[in-house]
């Protein structure tokens, strides 16, 4: 009986030849970090195969981050994807490729690229309305601007960490509430957050930069965005409502954001493109995606959130009101540039059903329970692929660690 080859992934494997997400890895033998492609339960050392087969892309793939490949542009992305597909599926390459597949659980996975600017949007109508009802019960759930522009804020890129990195419970200022562990306090208190939460999101990774003063039209989205990945935007719900008016979230979000190791190229997600929800308000021309012949701007991604192994929610990304193409157009319409490595996240993905919401805030209607020290949060996802196959997204995982410093006296 022939020995099993890692090239023979089972038929229908969601990390099969139709997927091919990119990451950065090193081996226990001490290889330098380089570009890898996930294939089944293995990682393909694309740098080694490219060198062995004389690929013109060998230098891009030997880099310690995805940034050079991301910056190279869509024609190169498509050429490399075609090359990797041939390496993995063409019998002629089998002997050259097989030695360069490493078992996934025997490699170290690294931050796939250095994040430049980080913007987080707020693009689920269900999430925005749910949060509005909880944080601003006396007001309309959606603010008057919500259906006219994709609302976002600038986050902290320096605390974006790869999946698996422990997340230390943040400390911060909160206004005492009736159900606070220290109730009846007359003013703000400082200490470890008592309402630590998650936000299940999808991040979009900018590959090709744009110059200042040159807005990127919606229709150029695929020329600039390299791929997408799962994101967990950890959030302190006691810090957030006290600090965020009028300028938006700050310390409630900036302590940590977790990023999946694997970036799924947009070219793997052709079969997952869907039209976004019906637009209920007329849009300004730079955002208007309702015209005849418009390419579908949404993606049918199905997320799953697990806390300590228990599924708690299955958020549907197809329900997001604003698309990633609209978000890119909006980010640059004022003349701002984007750079290779910029990351912008969708905002919490929440669908219309109670078990489709992407945060504990919504799952528990603001009452908790919240995350405890030691809790493990995992977000996975998949998308429909070609021929009825599934495209798995790389998961994002994090465990909560206790606050590691002594809260100052209040």
| Least Cβ distance, residue 163 to Mn ion (angstroms) | 17
Selecting among 18, 57, 126, 127, the annotated active-site residue is 127
| Least Cβ distance, residue 59 to Mn ion (angstroms) | 36
Residues that bind Mn ion (CB under 5 A): 120, 199, 233
Residue 125 or 199 with smaller CB distance to Mn ion: 199
Residue 43 or 345 with smaller CB distance to Mn ion: 345
Q: Which tokens in the block code for residue 243?
A: 């600090």
Q: Which tokens in the block code for residue 403?
A: 């606050």
- CB contact at 8 A, 379 and 358: no
Residue 43 or 377 with smaller CB distance to Mn ion: 377
- CB contact at 8 A, 182 and 189: yes
Residue 65 or 350 with smaller CB distance to Mn ion: 350
**Dist. CA 35–CA 28, nearest whole Å:** 15
| Least Cβ distance, residue 315 to Mn ion (angstroms) | 12
**Dist. CA 133–CA 127, nearest whole Å:** 10
Beta strand spans in 71-224 (E): 101-103, 108-110, 118-121, 152-154, 160-162, 167-168, 171-175, 188-192, 196-197, 200-206
| Least Cβ distance, residue 359 to Mn ion (angstroms) | 8
Task: Please choose, from the candidates 266, 252, 295, 296, the residue with its C-alpha nearest in 3D space to the C-alpha of residue 393.
Answer: 266
| Least Cβ distance, residue 358 to Mn ion (angstroms) | 9
Specify whether 18 is catalytic: no
Q: Which tokens in the block code for residue 297?
A: 């701007």
**Dist. CA 344–CA 334, nearest whole Å:** 17
Residue 83 or 243 with smaller CB distance to Mn ion: 243
DSSP secondary structure code for residue 386 in this structure: G
* Residue showing the smallest CB distance to Mn ion in the complex: 233
Q: Which residues are catalytic?
A: 127
């Amino acid at each position: 009986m022939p020995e099993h080859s890692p090239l023979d992934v089972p038929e229908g494997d969601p990390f099969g030849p139709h997927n091919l997400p990119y990451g950065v890895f090193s081996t226990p033998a001490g290889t330098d970090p380089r570009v890898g492609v996930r294939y089944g339960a293995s990682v393909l050392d694309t740098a080694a195969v490219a060198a062995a087969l004389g690929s013109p892309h060998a230098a891009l793939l030997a880099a310690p981050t995805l940034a050079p490949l991301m910056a190279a542009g869509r024609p190169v992305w498509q050429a490399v994807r075609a090359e990797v597909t041939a390496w993995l599926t063409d019998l002629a390459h089998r002997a050259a490729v097989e030695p360069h597949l490493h078992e996934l659980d025997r490699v170290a996975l690294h931050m796939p690229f250095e994040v430049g600017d980080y913007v987080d949007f707020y693009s689920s109508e269900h999430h925005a309305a749910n949060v509005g009802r909880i944080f601003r019960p006396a007001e309309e759930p959606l603010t008057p601007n919500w259906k006219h522009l994709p609302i976002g804020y600038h986050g902290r890129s320096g605390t974006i960490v790869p999946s698996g990195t422990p997340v230390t419970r943040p400390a911060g200022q909160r206004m005492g509430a009736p159900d606070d562990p220290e109730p009846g306090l007359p003013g703000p208190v400082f200490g470890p957050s008592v309402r630590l939460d998650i936000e299940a999101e999808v991040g979009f990774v900018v590959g090709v930069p744009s110059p200042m003063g040159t807005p990127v039209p919606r229709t150029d989205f695929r020329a600039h965005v390299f791929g997408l990945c799962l994101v967990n935007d950890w959030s302190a719900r006691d810090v957030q409502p006290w600090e965020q008016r009028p300028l938006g979230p700050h310390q409630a979000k900036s302590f940590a954001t977790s990023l999946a190791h694997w970036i799924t190229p947009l070219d793997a997600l052709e079969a997952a493109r869907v039209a976004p929800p019906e637009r209920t308000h007329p849009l300004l021309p730079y955002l208007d995606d309702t015209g005849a012949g418009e390419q579908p701007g949404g993606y049918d991604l199905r997320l799953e959130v697990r806390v300590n192994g228990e599924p708690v929610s299955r958020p549907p990304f197809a329900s997001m009101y604003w698309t990633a193409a609209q978000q890119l157009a909006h980010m640059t319409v004022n003349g701002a540039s984007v750079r290779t490595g910029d990351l912008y996240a969708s905002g919490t993905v929440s669908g219309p059903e109670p078990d489709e919401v992407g945060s504990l805030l919504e799952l528990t209607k603001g009452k908790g329970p919240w995350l405890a020290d030691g809790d493990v949060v995992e977000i996975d996802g998949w998308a429909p692929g070609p021929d009825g196959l599934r495209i798995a997204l790389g998961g994002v995982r994090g465990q909560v660690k206790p606050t590691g410093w002594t809260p100052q006296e209040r």
